[in-house]
């Protein structure tokens, strides 16, 4: 196992937190968050699973039919099960309070954009969202950088589950998507040569020298 670039980003961390958010159709306000946290094991491997967390999040905005159809989240569900963004953030902080060196791993930049909706007038909200942003790793951008100089090509998370033989669960459910990302990550870091061959099987024109350089 090598993964020199990835090691620089991950190897000194104590805890890896895989996260996913679902948002409204038009304003991309968060309406669900899912997280799964692991102690980092040897090298880049995942160690003990620490916890999973899922919550629906209240919003005054319109959810949108497309999002409701994809996620099953409705205004009624949020009224019955949703929590305020402040309460959700406090719960996340309490779960992670004991751990100092954390890396938050998501698949795309949209999750970080949605996390910024958690910032309110209470100073702790901006402090913690900024802490997440500082320690945020976009696995989608990482793959795009491996595959293409213009970063315009990158597989979907669903496609990665097929490529790395990871069981698919319910897409567009935050906790399921966070767990799938963790499972893909675990398979991805097992062996550099195997990972390179899998990526090349998907993108035959890929520059292998570039792939090894940024892996």
Helix then strand count (H, E) for the chain reads 11, 5
Residue 33's SS3 state is: strand
Provide the pLDDT for residue 214. Answer: 81
CA distance 90 to 138: 23
Q: What is the DSSP string of 157-176?
A: HHHHHHHTTPPP--TT-HHH
Q: What is the pLDDT of residue 187?
A: 97
Give the residue among 168, 118, 161, 119 at the shortest CA–CA distance from 139.
161
Q: What is the pLDDT of residue 124?
A: 96
| Strand 15-23 to 102-106 pairing | parallel
Show the CA angle centred on residue 39, arms to residues 21 and 14, nearest 5°: 95
Q: What is the CATH number of domain 4-214?
A: 3.30.420.10
Task: Note the pLDDT of residue 202.
Answer: 86
| pLDDT per residue rounded down to tens, the chain (215 residues) | 579 999 999 989 999 999 999 999 999 999 999 999 999 999 999 999 999 999 999 999 899 999 999 999 999 999 999 999 999 999 999 999 999 899 999 999 999 999 999 999 999 999 999 999 999 999 999 998 888 766 667 789 999 999 999 998 877 899 999 999 999 999 999 999 999 999 988 887 787 787 877 88
């Amino acid at each position: 196992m090598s993964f020199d670039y990835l090691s620089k980003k991950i190897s000194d961390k104590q805890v890896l937190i895989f996260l996913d958010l679902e948002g409204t159709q038009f304003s991309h306000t968060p309406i669900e968050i899912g997280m799964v946290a692991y102690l980092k094991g040897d090298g880049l491997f995942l160690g003990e699973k620490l916890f999973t967390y899922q919550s629906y999040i209240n919003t005054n905005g319109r959810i949108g039919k497309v999002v409701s159809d994809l996620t099953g989240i409705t205004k009624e569900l949020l009224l019955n099960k949703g929590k305020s963004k402040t309460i959700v953030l406090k719960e996340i902080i309490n779960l992670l309070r004991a751990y100092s060196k954390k890396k938050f791993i998501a698949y795309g930049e949209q999750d970080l954009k949605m996390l910024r909706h958690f910032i309110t007038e209470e100073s702790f909200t901006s402090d913690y969202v900024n802490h997440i942003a500082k320690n945020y790793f976009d696995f989608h951008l990482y793959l795009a950088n491996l595959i293409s100089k213009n970063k315009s090509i990158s597989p979907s998370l669903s496609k990665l589950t097929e490529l790395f033989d990871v069981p698919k669960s319910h897409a567009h459910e935050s906790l399921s998507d966070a767990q799938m990302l963790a499972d893909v990550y675990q398979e991805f870091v097992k062996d550099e040569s195997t990972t390179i061959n899998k990526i090349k099987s998907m993108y035959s024109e890929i520059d292998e020298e570039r792939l090894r350089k940024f892996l």
